[in-house]
Amino acid sequence: MKFKNLIGAGLICAIILIVPQFLHGYPMTVVNVALLFAITSYGISVMLGMGGQLSFAAVTFMGLGAYFVANTTTGRLGITIPTMLALVLTPIVFAGVAFLVGLVLLKLKGTYFTFATIALVQVAFTFFNNYSPLFGGPDGISGIPTLTFFDHSFRSSGSSNEWFYFISISVVLVAIVVERIRRSQLGRALASIRDNETAALTFGINTYLTKVIAFSIAGAFASFSGALWVMHGRFVGADMFNFLNAAQFIIMAMLGGVNSTVGIVIGALLVTGLPELFRAFQGYMQLFWGVAIIALMVFMPTGLAGIKDMIVEKIRKYKVCASRREGDADATDS
């Protein structure tokens, strides 16, 4: 197990070092954006994958994180704080906000909760799009400073290597947190809520509070990813945080495998990258995602990671059968 972890760590380091050698310019920007979306997607993995709670609210918290950074680093509201401080503060502040929102929304259960999160997305979008003092209205907020990391300003072009290193290390850190949650008491509590909420109560699990905590973690991830996104792109507009994009994040998480730590990153890369490859069909993208989500639900509810597991299982079974047949052959020989 230890050895396997070491190989995994080595592989991740190698990928992080090698990718910038081959990718430059616009493709690099797309990869950077995909990776920071993966952080939001990890929040969905905690809520939906572990806890079985479908929430569309991820984009809203991304938006809150993005506007928070946009306001505090440009001095629009009269105060200016360093970009690094804003980046660290965002997940802390919005974990708290998500906790409070979660306390209210999670009074509802199952589908009712999901609908409430859709309503939240719509309400928040309306505010983002119309309330100029805080959100810049339809024009959005531009001229956001790029990240300054201990006296070193990141190059403002989003395709730079330093952005790639910083974002991918953030993704790895978030992935480690998610893996830890999965293996700790919180992960087990969430799994028992997903599988049977009544039984979870008899295991001594405060199902309501546990779900609120998961919602708060997802909110922290999403707002952090929103903060990175806005420093990376240096502009924030409301369009990013509408319902269509909310659905796209769900697809992102489900395509790779909502319970697979590696799958989340692959899903984010595919969902962000494919529209760039098929620019000519951009008008049909919503149709494609609609069909994709139905197909995902029906044919691979566990995503690409599920298909991998299925193949591994098939190979294992094949090996068992093969060894048994060989065993029989040996027996007849002797």
Partner 1 sequence: MQPILRLEGICKQFGGVTAAKDITFSMTPGQVHGLIGPNGAGKSTLMNIISGIYEPDWGSIYLNEQEITKIPAYTRARMGIGRTFQTPRFLQRSNIRDNLLIGTDLADQTGFLKGFFGKKGRPFDDELAELMEVAKFTFDWNDNVNSLPFGKRKLLEIVRSMLGHPKVMLVDEPAAGLNNKEIEHAMDLLNLAAQKRGIGVLLIEHSMDMIMDICSDIVVINFGQVIGMGGPKEISQNKAVIDAYLGGDDLA
**Could you tell me how many residues of this chain bind partner 1 (CB under 8 A)?**
24
Residues 212-241 that bind partner 1 (CB under 8 A): 213
Q: Give start and end residues of each alpha helix (H) in 234-282.
A: 243-256, 261-277
The residue from 130, 132, 156, 184 that contacts partner 1 (CB under 8 A) is 184
Q: Which of 104, 108, 123, 199 binds partner 1 (CB under 8 A)?
A: 199
> Considering only residues 21, 111, 202, 332, which one is a binding residue for partner 1 as defined by CB under 8 A?
202
SS3 labels along 269-318: HHHHHHHHHCHHHHHHHHHHHHHHHHHHHHHCCCHHHHHHHHHHHHHHHH
Which amino acid belongs to residue 312? V
With DSSP H G I counted as helix, E B as strand and the rest as coil, what are the percentages for the chain, rounded to 5? 80, 0, 15
* By CB under 8 A, residue 204 contacts partner 1: yes
Q: How many CA atoms lie within 13 A of 240 on its CB side?
A: 24
Please report how close the Cβ of residue 42 comes to partner 1 at its closest, in angstroms: 15
Give SS3 for 67: helix
Out of 85, 96, 173, 195, the only residue in the binding site for partner 1 (CB under 8 A) is: 195
Binds partner 1 by CB under 8 A, chosen from 132, 156, 196, 323:
196
Q: In the structure encoding, which two tokens stand for residue 235, read together?
A: 């502009």
When asked if residue 188 is in the footprint of partner 1 (CB under 8 A), the reply is yes
Of the pair 86, 186, the CB lying nearest partner 1 is at: 186
- Least spacing, CB of residue 271 vs partner 1, in Å: 24
78 binds partner 1 (CB under 8 A): no
Give the DSSP letter of residue 85.
H
Distance CA 28, CA 174 (A): 21
Could you say whether residue 45 binds partner 1 (CB under 8 A)? no
The token duo for 324 is 């048994």
Site for partner 1 in 250-309 (CB under 8 A): 259
185 is a contact residue toward partner 1 (CB under 8 A): yes
- Residues interacting with partner 1, by CB under 8 A? 180-181, 184-186, 188-189, 191-192, 195-196, 198-207, 210, 213, 259
